[in-house]
Amino acid sequence: MSKLKFSISMSTDGYVAGPNQSTENPLGEGGEELHEWAFVTRTFREMQGREGGETGLDDEHAKYWSQGTGATIMGRNMFGPIRGSWGDESWNGWWGDDPPYHTPVFVLTHHAREPLEMQGGTTFHFVTGGIEEALERAREAAGDRDVSIGGGAQAIQQYLRAGLVDEMVVHVVPRLLGRGERLFENLDGGPTGYECVEFVSSPRVAHFRFARKV
């Protein structure tokens, strides 16, 4: 059964991106540190077309967002820093010519744009009809496989508020950011109805997986 899921790194004080996000610093100040545990894994290096990297518990959990994933949804900020219309459409995403998704990616936006086919199986589709339309198209593209919300916090919050998320993994990192973008905010009293189905940690990070209570 196809699931809607996400997997995100979070500071101990609840932030998934640092303050002052910019083109030079898309994850905000201190935001990159939240992903250090993932950068050293084999899975992450493979996504980048590189060799080596650590295996083990963190590597298993780094796989979560891509394993079994047939389509990805992301908020516009995660595609790029441009606000308003797309201009000359020269912006092709933060991710280089061969983005790490290798699936169709549905970008939530208010501004229509033609699909953008990249190398390695990633095609960006720009969805102006809101989160339900994006989910419908992503499910169709994914078939039996899962749909993963790539981020950021606002896109995830929209799906949590709508009660559409089946499973989530939060990777809690031993750092305090103090400021930035929170994951569990603007949820109108949610998420409710989830239970922790897996909780393990390495010396670098604690992985919490929550699923809907059945």
Alpha carbon dihedral 59, 11, 109, 115, in 10-degree steps, equals: -20
Cβ atoms of 40 and 117 within 8 Å: the answer is no
Residue number, 118 or 170, with CB nearest to a copy of itself? 170
- Residue 175 binds a copy of itself, judged by CB under 8 A: yes
Residues 3-32 that bind a copy of itself (CB under 8 A): 12-14
Cβ atoms of 105 and 73 within 8 Å: the answer is yes
Only segment of 104-112, 130-138, 150-158, 197-205 that touches a copy of itself (CB under 8 A): 197-205
Tokens of 113: 């744009």
- Residue 179 binds a copy of itself, judged by CB under 8 A: yes
Only segment of 50-58, 99-107, 122-130, 177-185 that touches a copy of itself (CB under 8 A): 177-185
Residue number, 18 or 104, with CB nearest to a copy of itself? 18
In the list 203, 211, 212, 214, the residue contacting a copy of itself (rule: CB under 8 A) is: 203
- Residue 139 binds a copy of itself, judged by CB under 8 A: no
> What is the enclosing helix (H) or strand (E) of 37?
helix 36-39
Alpha carbon dihedral 125, 160, 36, 49, in 10-degree steps, equals: -30
Residue number, 90 or 192, with CB nearest to a copy of itself? 192
Q: How far is the CB of 25 from a copy of itself (least distance, A)?
A: 17
Residue 104's contacts (CB-CB under 8 Å, 6 or more residues apart) are 71, 72, 122, 123, 125, 138, 141
Q: How far is the CB of 116 from a copy of itself (least distance, A)?
A: 35
- Residue 199 binds a copy of itself, judged by CB under 8 A: yes
Terminal-to-terminal C-alpha distance of the chain: 14
Residue 58's contacts (CB-CB under 8 Å, 6 or more residues apart) are 37, 38, 40, 41, 202, 204, 205, 207
Residue 24's contacts (CB-CB under 8 Å, 6 or more residues apart) are none
In the list 51, 90, 192, 214, the residue contacting a copy of itself (rule: CB under 8 A) is: 192
- Residue 174 binds a copy of itself, judged by CB under 8 A: yes
Residue number, 116 or 183, with CB nearest to a copy of itself? 183
Cα 118 from Cα 83, distance rounded (Å): 22
Residues that bind a copy of itself (CB under 8 A): 12-14, 170, 172, 174-176, 178-179, 182-184, 187, 189-192, 194-196, 199-201, 203, 206, 208, 210
